[in-house]
Amino acid sequence: MPGSSFGQSFRVTTAGESHGPAQVVIIDGCPPGIPLTVDDLRHDLGRRRPGQSRLVTARQESDEPEILSGVFEDVTTGTPIAILIRNQDQRSRDYEALRDLYRPGHADQTYDAKYGRGDHRGGGRSSARETVARVAAGAVARKLIMRAFNGVVLGYVESVGGIVASIDDPAAVTIEQVEQLPDRSPNVVRCPDHGSAAEMASLIESVRLDQDSIGGVGVVVAKNVPAGLGEPVFDKIKADLAKALFSIPAVMGVEYGLGFECARKRGSECNDPFIGETDGSDQVRIRTRGNRHGGILGGISSGMPIVLRVAVKPTSSLPREQETVTRAGAPAVVSVHGRHDPCLLPRFVPIAEAMTAIVLADHWLRWRGQCGDSI
């Protein structure tokens, strides 16, 4: 099966290139009866949109979504939801000079190897422009998981270069901390530790002036996820989330809970003891003391917050000169003068949230199908 679809029960299929006419996404399998308007989509699309500050690309896109199907009188009907988002600020001429050059760190060479000469403009299908369709689909997934289990997905920037935020409990971070500074101005870096956020902003600006770029780490937290989502053995929710996140451009690493740190630890330092909680009623809720496991055990959600960390590489497009070759293999020098984020992290956050929400929506529907009621 080709690679432009994701999910089994909540199934997202996208199409579109960076410099073609439009991005389109079809979401199939969404339950009927969920209120949905273009305003729901606009909110997340706005968070992803370029051109919001000097820290991100200056490309201007209104990213106005049009719902083509699957919604009637502002409620989902159960039939596939198609959303169209036109590309506007394409400036293909920026890319004429790159027609025969392989940009280091980009997919030009690998797409050529796979497909032969395709659409070279702005990376074509490999461009992060494609993620706008995922964010639209993620907005629908968010509505679904909110109704299904009060599910909330929130991401933030944990580090940029060597600057690491100080966050005691990822599950306690709020959307306000991520999106706003104390003076209510936009938190353009999306780091909830506002002291670190200011340092990150300075670092990104200095890197930009140096015609360079910088990497970082994003965190995504999913709250109120019920225990029991995920499929043994291949479609563990851990596996599907990892696939979802590694499908986002520039992702180089993913870890859950203690992650790579557990490689240096003993079992007695990693296992989270189970405890029983009562809330006044006779009902005992089982949870763990601590969340070193990151909310997933045996590939299935444990009921604790799902916490994952994602390493994002520095933007590959650099205005400075880089050594490379032409398509024919001749030595060359390339400078990429398009409009590119010097640091991908701020805009990575809503994209990672969207993919996480899509996986949760999918696995909740899968759970309901197989296990939802007693039979």
Question: Closest separation between CB of residue 181 and its own copies, Å?
Answer: 23
Residue 278 has φ and ψ, to the nearest 5°, of -115, 150
Contacts of its own copies in 272-311 (CB under 8 A): 272-276, 284-286, 288-289, 293-294, 296-303, 311
Exposed e or buried b for every residue in 236-258, given b needs 16+ CB within 10 A?
A: bbbbbbbebbeebbbbeebbbbb
148, 205 Cβ separation under 8 angstroms: no
Question: Closest separation between CB of residue 175 and its own copies, Å?
Answer: 23
Question: Closest separation between CB of residue 246 and its own copies, Å?
Answer: 4
Question: Closest separation between CB of residue 282 and its own copies, Å?
Answer: 10
Question: Closest separation between CB of residue 195 and its own copies, Å?
Answer: 19
Contacts of its own copies in 326-355 (CB under 8 A): 328-331
Q: Verify binding: residue 224, its own copies, rule CB under 8 A.
A: no
Nearest to 153 by CA among 259, 28, 241: 241
d(CA 314, CA 64): 28
- Torsional sign, CA 202, 206, 209, 215: negative
Q: Verify binding: residue 268, its own copies, rule CB under 8 A.
A: yes
Question: Closest separation between CB of residue 176 and its own copies, Å?
Answer: 25
Crossing angle for the helix pair 131-149 and 38-48, to the nearest 10 degrees: 120
Residues sharing a CB contact under 8 Å with residue 125, sequence separation 6 or more, in sequence order: 16, 17, 18, 111, 118, 119
- Tell me the residue length of the chain: 375
Contact segment (CB under 8 A) with its own copies among 44-52, 178-186, 191-199, 262-270 equals 262-270
Question: Closest separation between CB of residue 185 and its own copies, Å?
Answer: 26
Contacts of its own copies in 89-108 (CB under 8 A): 102, 104-107
Q: Verify binding: residue 325, its own copies, rule CB under 8 A.
A: yes
Sequence-distant contacts of 235-243: CB under 8 A, at least 24 apart: 235/8, 235/299, 236/296, 236/298, 236/299, 236/300, 237/296, 237/299, 237/300, 237/301, 237/306, 237/359, 237/363, 238/296, 238/299, 239/299, 240/359, 240/362, 240/363, 241/306, 241/308, 241/355, 241/356, 241/359
C-beta of 178 vs 254, nearer to its own copies: 254
C-beta of 138 vs 216, nearer to its own copies: 216
DSSP one-letter string for 301-343: E-SSPEEEEEEEPPPS--SS-EEEEBTTS-EEEE---S---S-
Q: List the structure tokens of 214.
A: 């910088």
Helical (H) or strand (E) element with 288: strand 284-288
Contact segment (CB under 8 A) with its own copies among 38-46, 51-59, 190-198, 321-329 equals 321-329
Question: Closest separation between CB of residue 143 and its own copies, Å?
Answer: 10
Residue 5 has φ and ψ, to the nearest 5°, of -120, 150
102, 324 Cβ separation under 8 angstroms: yes
# binding residues, its own copies (CB under 8 A): 160
Among 189, 254, 307, 360, binds its own copies (CB under 8 A): 254
Residue type, position 318, single letter: L
Contacts of its own copies in 43-72 (CB under 8 A): 66, 68-70, 72
C-beta of 176 vs 321, nearer to its own copies: 321
C-beta of 303 vs 338, nearer to its own copies: 303
Contact segment (CB under 8 A) with its own copies among 49-57, 172-180, 190-198, 207-215 equals 207-215
Q: List the structure tokens of 110.
A: 């690998």
CA 205 to chain centre: 23
C-beta of 114 vs 184, nearer to its own copies: 114
Mark 126-165 with x for binding to its own copies (rule: CB under 8 A) and - for no binding: x---x-------------x--xx----------x-xx---
Among 60, 150, 202, 271, binds its own copies (CB under 8 A): 271
Mark 158-197 with x for binding to its own copies (rule: CB under 8 A) and - for no binding: -x-xx-----------------------------------
Contact segment (CB under 8 A) with its own copies among 54-62, 181-189, 192-200, 260-268 equals 260-268
C-beta of 195 vs 298, nearer to its own copies: 298
